[in-house]
């Protein structure tokens, strides 16, 4: 389907229709009206355009009062993405978005492990984000694990990072004279600001990447290894995971690669190029 000449808003509505048809097998004009706040006439025009451009992809069922995806349905605009679908379910489970903000339509019963929510002041996050954009240093009060009391310090944040559980500000710490990860939820206040003398481009552990080669644990059975290879999308018993060097520590903890002696069924994967990775980490 040629969509280059269409407005972005029209493309979004057509893609929405295809998402509904692909994942739920059906679509109603009222879905367009409710999701995009368009008129009935505009919804009719969108549907008519899609029918002309993707002839045979859907047909109206008077009994169901809906357009039904044909057995030969083939997406013409969007590329089906299982990860995107499941990510929307995860956002719903976390109450980060409402169903109306998604293209899911009727959703299956689903659940996710509850997140232990960390208190995060949006004003503090806003100050950090603005400091990143403005290349400024800010004075913060931070509660670290190494000090019993909160301490005041200057930091120059240049990026945000998620370790799988927590968000961090990647920043130059003027107290420690090095780049560090600061847990956003432990920032108790942000006050003064000034131009940052430190450029984030100097943060080599952030800007340089290392490929981690993962493989099934060698002590697993052949059948178990095949299952793990499928879980991780491995080819020939291995998958390469490029990663910022500053995030390797968290990745190893997440996959229990930092705990020796775990049962193979618990650890499941090993780092095939561990010596190379350790050398990269020691460089910082």
Per-residue pLDDT tens digits for 45-82: 999 999 999 989 999 999 999 999 999 999 999 899 99
| Confidence (pLDDT) at 74 | 93
**pLDDT at residue 101 greater than cutoff 80:** yes
CATH of 8-80, one of 2.60.120.10, 3.30.420.40, 1.10.10.10, 2.60.34.10: 1.10.10.10
The residue behind tokens 């984000």 is 129
3-state helix, strand, coil in the chain (%, to 5): 40, 25, 35
| Confidence (pLDDT) at 212 | 97
**pLDDT at residue 87 greater than cutoff 80:** yes
Ordered DSSP codes for 249-266: HHHHHHTTTTSTT--HHH
| Confidence (pLDDT) at 59 | 94
**pTM, to two decimals:** 0.82
Q: Please write the tens of the pLDDT for every residue from 174-188.
A: 999 999 999 999 999
| Confidence (pLDDT) at 1 | 67
Q: Please write the tens of the pLDDT for every residue from 124-161.
A: 999 999 999 999 999 999 998 888 899 999 999 999 99
Q: Please give the order of strands across the beta sheet that includes 167-173.
A: 178-183, 167-173, 151-162, 136-142, 187-195
User: Within 10 Å of residue 104's Cβ, how many Cβ atoms?
Assistant: 16
Tell me which residue of 160, 182, 184, 186 sits closest to 173, measured CA to CA: 182
CATH of 122-198, one of 2.30.30, 1.10.287, 1.10.10, 3.30.230: 2.30.30
**Mean pLDDT, range 184-212, rounded to an integer:** 95
Phi then psi for residue 173, to 5 deg, are: -100, 115
From CA 12, how far away is CA 77, in angstroms rounded? 10
Which positions ≥6 away from 142 have C-beta within 8 Å?
150, 151, 152, 153, 182, 186, 187, 188
Tell me which residue of 251, 246, 157, 164 sits closest to 207, measured CA to CA: 246
Q: How far is CA 166 from the centre of its chain?
A: 13
From CA 24, how far away is CA 13, in angstroms rounded? 16
| Confidence (pLDDT) at 6 | 87
In whole numbers, what is the pLDDT of the chain averaged over residues?
92
From CA 109, how far away is CA 25, in angstroms rounded? 17
Give, in degrees to the nearest 5, the angle at Cα 272 between 268 and 278: 110
Query: For residue 87, what is the enclosing H or E element?
Result: helix 82-93
Helix pair 40-53, 8-24: axis angle to 10 deg = 70
User: What percent of the chain is predicted at pLDDT more than 90?
Assistant: 77
**Mean pLDDT, range 248-273, rounded to an integer:** 94
Distance from the first to the final alpha carbon of the chain:
50
Q: How far is CA 110 from the centre of its chain?
A: 19
**Residues forming a β-bridge with 240:** 213
Q: Map out the domains of the chain as residue ranges.
A: 8-80, 122-198, 208-282
């Amino acid at each position: 389907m040629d969509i280059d000449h269409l407005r972005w808003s029209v493309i979004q509505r057509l893609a929405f229709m295809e998402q509904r048809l692909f994942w739920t097998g059906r679509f109603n004009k009222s879905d367009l009206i409710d999701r995009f706040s368009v008129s009935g006439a505009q919804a009719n025009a969108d549907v008519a355009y899609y029918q002309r451009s993707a002839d045979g992809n859907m047909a109206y069922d008077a009994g169901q009062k809906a357009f039904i995806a044909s057995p030969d349905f083939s997406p013409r605009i969007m590329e089906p993405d299982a990860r995107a679908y499941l990510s929307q379910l995860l956002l719903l489970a976390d109450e980060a978005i409402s169903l109306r903000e998604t293209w899911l339509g009727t959703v299956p019963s689903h659940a996710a492990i509850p997140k232990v929510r960390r208190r995060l002041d949006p004003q503090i996050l806003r100050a950090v984000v603005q400091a990143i954009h403005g290349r400024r240093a800010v004075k913060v009060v931070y509660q670290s694990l190494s000090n019993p009391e909160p301490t005041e310090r200057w930091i120059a944040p240049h990026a945000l990072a998620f370790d799988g559980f927590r968000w961090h500000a990647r920043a130059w710490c003027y107290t420690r004279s090095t780049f560090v990860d600061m847990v956003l939820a432990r920032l108790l206040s942000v006050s003064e600001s000034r131009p940052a003398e430190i450029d984030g481009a100097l943060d080599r552990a952030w800007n340089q990447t290392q490929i981690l080669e993962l493989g099934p644990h060698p002590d697993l059975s052949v059948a178990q290894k095949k299952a793990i290879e499928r879980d991780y999308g491995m080819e020939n018993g291995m998958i390469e995971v490029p990663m910022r060097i500053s995030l390797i520590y968290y990745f190893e903890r997440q996959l229990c690669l930092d705990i020796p002696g775990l049962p193979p069924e618990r650890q499941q994967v090993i780092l095939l190029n561990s010596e190379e990775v350790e050398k990269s980490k020691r460089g910082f």
